[in-house]
A and B are shown apart, each in its own frame.
Chain A
Amino acid sequence: MTGGRVSGGRVSAPRVALGLFLVFLVAAPFVLSEFYVTLMNYIGLAALVTLGLVLLTGVAGLMSFGQQAFVGIGAYTTAVLTTTYALSPWLGLAAGLVLTGLAALGIGAITVRLSGHYLPISTIAWGIALYFVFGNLEILGRYNGLQGVPPVTIAGWTVGSGRNSYVLIWIATLVSLIAARNLLDSRSGRAVRALRFRGTMAESFGVDTARLKLVVFVYAALLAALSGWLYAHFLRFVSPGPFNVNAGIEYLFMAVVGGASSVWGAVVGASVLTMLKEWLKDLLPALFEQSGNYEVIVFGVLMVALLHRTREGLMPAFARLVPVARREAWPAEAAPLARRERPQPGEPLLEVRGAHRQFGGLVAVSHLSFEMKSGEILGLIGPNGAGKSTMFNLVTGVLRADGGEILFRGERIERRAAREIARRGVARTFQHVNLVGAMPVLENVAIGAHLRGRHGTIASVLRLDRAEETVLRAEAARQVERVGLGGQLHDAAGSLPLGQQRLVEIARALAADPVLLLLDEPAAGLRYREKQSLARLLRELRDEGLSILLVEHDMDFVMGLVDRLVVMDFGEKLAEGKPQDVQRNPAVIEAYLGGLE
């Protein structure tokens, strides 16, 4: 399940599993009986749709019950074109993909921006709406459907029988699986994986999350349409029934049972559910005298029991049986990435003039002004709730200021989106660690370098991004080394202790090659020695010309490190100056140190 070179020179276990799977796929039409080949066709058709759902729901976190509608568009388009207009199925495929793509763009433009539970409900809504449209349009044969869809022909070879269809369906499925795997294992893929819960973080590193969500949505819809096209020409008959909302829920079932976080989960889920239903159909009438009627009950009970055992689905359980291979991080000779030109030390860098922000009646930042010069470490301190993190969010564009101006290198940025500010060389860490827990440290850090790459989704699907990818990974690995986590490069970020996760956050910010680095409580959770080395690192970075704005609680850490301090309380600036001066300021002692009691 990995690209790139494999360490140790021996073949990795996942590769063996994958190889066996491929051998099975190739052998299947020769060894399996006609019907099991047919079943494999159904599995392939379902796996295609489920794969889209894995990307959409499992990876990007967008729950959809509406995939069956896209399957329907794909199937109906080709059915109409090949029956009523007697055109080639290939034209049907092209038209189906185009039409589905347009429909997905339209629906997606409205719905992927929906937050929380509005999205799943809206997918149910358009799923149901389209079902009734299929059933009522004369041109689509109304509820009776369209008969006599011709088989596909490839250069004179007719894909008529189950075994022929098998070839077509599984080539399509395999290609889609590999494409999806390639996509996830790339610059765009990392961003997609960051979408799930970390939209703010992704935006802060320059990812256009709304656009990316739409891309994933359209991609999933296209997979569904491809499945629909194959469906129409394999079954040769299209009617509305298979595209009702229950079908959409079934696909989601497959994704969850298979394991929605892995592309192979789509195949596992589709296989297990299809086979299970088939076996129940044979088994239950033998157990119960009266045939039928019990399958759905037993099926439901089994599903509940399964989810009680494994919530993550089957694929992670399978994956645990197979030790994961570690890929080599980067070839040592990888060329370093181009670096941003940095301002001269002492140049004005950041200027905050009367920034103001309130939440309802609560004023978080009140007409705050301060300045920061290039090449300095500025500490922003204050008691809990003083508005430090809000100030951070205003500078980085996560929140928008109600009033005042914020200038970065002389340019006003207070109206700019987070990703535009990131583009200008501002990188940050988060107070609440914002890592994709299941992803290795290396890849988490590589998200930081998002803006330093340029290959998009299509390039990554086609693997045209490998050279750039190598360089990005090399850069990420270098930054991980730099924060002292070289040994944990391949560990899942979520498995590290909190203190080290903060270091990963710093490495990620550094991977963006920032001019200004904003650190939100970087020392929290670190032990004494770790703090020492962190302070050393930050000083080094400053000496290299990086400017650092720091929010921190640990006074010892701050006092020894920063060049200047800004003290905040109740959203206002209390004091500003060199650490020693600020320490002696009576107002600060009163408000800040008094507040610690």
Chain B
Amino acid sequence: MNRKLIAAFAAASVLGAGAAHAEITVGVTLGATGPGASLGIHYKNAFQLVPKTLGGEPVKYIILEDGSDPTNAGKNARKLITEDKVDAVMGSNGVPSSIQIAQVAFEAKTPYLCLTPISLPPEKYHWTFVVPQTTELMMSAVAEHMKAHGVKTVGYIGFSDAWGDLVYKAMTQLAPDYGYKVVTDERYARPDTSVTGQVLKILAAKPDVVVVGGSGTGGALPHVALRERGYKGTIYHNHGTVNAEVIKVGGKDVEGAIAPTGPLIVPEELPADFPTKAISLEFTKRYEDTFGAGKRNAFAGYSYDGVLILNAAVPAALKKAKPGTPEFRAALRDALENVKNVVGTHGVYNMTPTDHNGEDARARVLVRVDNGAWHLLK
């Protein structure tokens, strides 16, 4: 048995190491199964639409499944880096998974385009570039809207996971600047069948508005429960919730829900001079042509934008080294840090050595559910 194993291992390692590196290789790990599947599927879908060249060079995408599990995500990242010798890593759809990949990318000195908003200690950002808008940036749109409407107290209910934590943290951090108080921190799990207890607690606190920190259709459950129990205030969501399914599930109850999102959810309604209008419109159209009408979502846009950012950085890196080498990875990292005015589906990216996200207020809009669809809130 041992001999066979050795043979198998040896064969496998030879095969893995033998891949030629004439082209640029991008390794992707995503969780299209497991608890994060509803997001991961969209992230993964987008890779059917991404450009087949980067900076004019052919590119190969190697996409691995991590089942939304951080240990697996880390394992995949190591595999992509050491086995497939990728030039950059992308992924994943979950905060812990992404932090784990960032750790691996840091150790292995490989540029990492993170597709989930995470926060890292400053030195760990060296190799990591976060594509999505920070949660603070997104939720500040909500906070502005609340301030404009004189909101003083906010009830919060969110997922009992990293996402729920992230949105809650953003809301409490923004609170002093926008003059409101977060009065509840209720949590629920996506598969929960009832949130009656949490909703009663919120009602007892009588907040002016409620913010829901769920994602996807998971945002509907507390919203519907609040309305059923007669809550009249505005209910805000976050950018994770904005898709068509949540309206299908929530029905009439989610009318009037307000959420921040990237502009690609409502490209048709953007003003003509909106910087991302053309590219958002084009991507959304292609996505819905491929995967069905009404399937537009923010997550696919992050994958797409990640590739666009790479595309912008590759030419500079190619001048310094050949793909598949540590020198190229280092050059790519340097180039990524200096990309300017990359127009993506979500926003305009301007990286600097201290800002590895590079998005500004152009990367967010507020949308509201009117007549069974998300519309730009003007």
Q: Does B107 contact A (CB under 8 A)?
A: yes
Q: Does B254 contact A (CB under 8 A)?
A: no
Provide the main secondary structure of the chain B interface.
helix
**A281-B121 in contact (CB<8A):** no
Q: Does B13 contact A (CB under 8 A)?
A: yes
Instruction: Please indicate the chain B residues that have their CB under 8 angstroms from the CB of A142 in the complex.
Output: 162, 165
CA A239 to CA B121, docked complex, whole Å: 16
Instruction: Please indicate the chain B residues that have their CB under 8 angstroms from the CB of A35 in the complex.
Output: 13, 16, 78-79, 82-83
**B1-A318 in contact (CB<8A):** yes
Residues in A253-286 with C-beta less than 8 Å from chain B: 271, 278, 281, 285
Q: Does B341 contact A (CB under 8 A)?
A: no
Q: Does A237 contact B (CB under 8 A)?
A: yes
Contact with A along B64-105 (1 / 0, CB 8 A): 110111110011101100110000000000111101100100
Residues in B119-151 with C-beta less than 8 Å from chain A: 120-121, 124
Instruction: Please indicate the chain A residues that have their CB under 8 angstroms from the CB of B95 in the complex.
Output: 143-144
Residues in A437-490 with C-beta less than 8 Å from chain B: none
Determine which of A17, A32, A291, A293 lies in contact with B2 in the assembled complex, contact meaning CB atoms within 8 Å: A17
**B103-A33 in contact (CB<8A):** no
**B65-A34 in contact (CB<8A):** no
CA A23 to CA B63, docked complex, whole Å: 35
**A295-B33 in contact (CB<8A):** yes
**B82-A38 in contact (CB<8A):** yes
Instruction: Please indicate the chain B residues that have their CB under 8 angstroms from the CB of A239 in the complex.
Output: 70, 96, 99-100, 162
Q: Which of A33, A242, A271 gathers most chain B CB within 10 Å?
A: A33
Q: A235-B74, A241-B70, A292-B63 are in contact. Are A34 and B103 (CB under 8 A)?
A: no
Determine which of B12, B41, B68, B124 lies in contact with A147 in the assembled complex, contact meaning CB atoms within 8 Å: B124
Q: Which of B10, B79, B118 gathers most chain A CB within 10 Å?
A: B79
CA A27 to CA B76, docked complex, whole Å: 24
CA A148 to CA B99, docked complex, whole Å: 10
Determine which of A36, A148, A242 lies in contact with B9 in the assembled complex, contact meaning CB atoms within 8 Å: A36
Instruction: Please indicate the chain B residues that have their CB under 8 angstroms from the CB of A17 in the complex.
Output: 1-2
Q: Does B368 contact A (CB under 8 A)?
A: no
**B63-A32 in contact (CB<8A):** no
Determine which of A33, A144, A271, A318 lies in contact with B96 in the assembled complex, contact meaning CB atoms within 8 Å: A144
Instruction: Please indicate the chain B residues that have their CB under 8 angstroms from the CB of A21 in the complex.
Output: 2
CA A169 to CA B164, docked complex, whole Å: 35
Please name the residue on chain B nearest to A234 by beta carbon: B74
**B33-A237 in contact (CB<8A):** no
**B78-A162 in contact (CB<8A):** yes
Determine which of B5, B65, B83, B121 lies in contact with A292 in the assembled complex, contact meaning CB atoms within 8 Å: B65
**A148-B160 in contact (CB<8A):** no
CA A20 to CA B164, docked complex, whole Å: 50
**A148-B96 in contact (CB<8A):** no
Determine which of A162, A235, A292, A293 lies in contact with B71 in the assembled complex, contact meaning CB atoms within 8 Å: A235
Instruction: Please indicate the chain B residues that have their CB under 8 angstroms from the CB of A553 in the complex.
Output: none
CA A285 to CA B79, docked complex, whole Å: 16
Please name the residue on chain A nearest to B44 by beta carbon: A292
Q: A160-B107, A241-B70, A292-B63 are in contact. Are A32 and B10 (CB under 8 A)?
A: yes
Instruction: Please indicate the chain A residues that have their CB under 8 angstroms from the CB of B2 in the complex.
Output: 17, 20-21, 23-24
**B13-A33 in contact (CB<8A):** yes
**A293-B32 in contact (CB<8A):** yes
CA A421 to CA B76, docked complex, whole Å: 59
Q: Does A236 contact B (CB under 8 A)?
A: yes
**B69-A291 in contact (CB<8A):** no
Determine which of A161, A162, A235, A271 lies in contact with B100 in the assembled complex, contact meaning CB atoms within 8 Å: A235
Within the complex, the shortest CB–CB distance from A36 to chain B, in Å, comes to 5
**B124-A292 in contact (CB<8A):** no
**A296-B82 in contact (CB<8A):** no
CA A160 to CA B2, docked complex, whole Å: 28
**A291-B65 in contact (CB<8A):** yes
Instruction: Please indicate the chain B residues that have their CB under 8 angstroms from the CB of A570 in the complex.
Output: none
Q: Does A135 contact B (CB under 8 A)?
A: yes
Q: Does A31 contact B (CB under 8 A)?
A: yes
Within the complex, the shortest CB–CB distance from B239 to chain A, in Å, comes to 18
Q: Does A545 contact B (CB under 8 A)?
A: no
Within the complex, the shortest CB–CB distance from B6 to chain A, in Å, comes to 5
**A38-B33 in contact (CB<8A):** no
Determine which of A42, A145, A148 lies in contact with B75 in the assembled complex, contact meaning CB atoms within 8 Å: A42
Q: Does A132 contact B (CB under 8 A)?
A: yes
Interface CB pairs A-B, < 8 A, 23: A23-B2, A24-B5, A24-B6, A32-B10, A33-B82, A34-B83, A35-B13, A36-B12, A38-B75, A39-B75, A142-B162, A144-B95, A145-B70, A147-B103, A148-B121, A162-B82, A241-B69, A241-B97, A285-B63, A292-B30, A292-B32, A292-B44, A296-B33
Given contacts A38-B75, A271-B5, A291-B65, 18 further A-B contacts (CB under 8 A): A31-B9, A32-B9, A32-B10, A35-B79, A42-B71, A132-B160, A135-B161, A144-B166, A148-B124, A235-B74, A235-B100, A236-B107, A237-B74, A241-B70, A241-B94, A292-B63, A295-B65, A318-B1
Question: Could you tell me which B residues sit within 8 Å of A by CB distance?
Answer: 1-3, 5-6, 9-10, 12-13, 16-17, 30, 32-33, 41, 44, 63-65, 67-71, 74-76, 78-79, 82-83, 94-97, 99-100, 103, 107, 118, 120-121, 124, 160-166
Question: Could you tell me which A residues sit within 8 Å of B by CB distance?
Answer: 17, 20-21, 23-24, 27-28, 31-36, 38-39, 42, 132, 135-136, 142-145, 147-148, 160-162, 235-237, 239-242, 271, 278, 281, 285, 291-293, 295-296, 318, 321
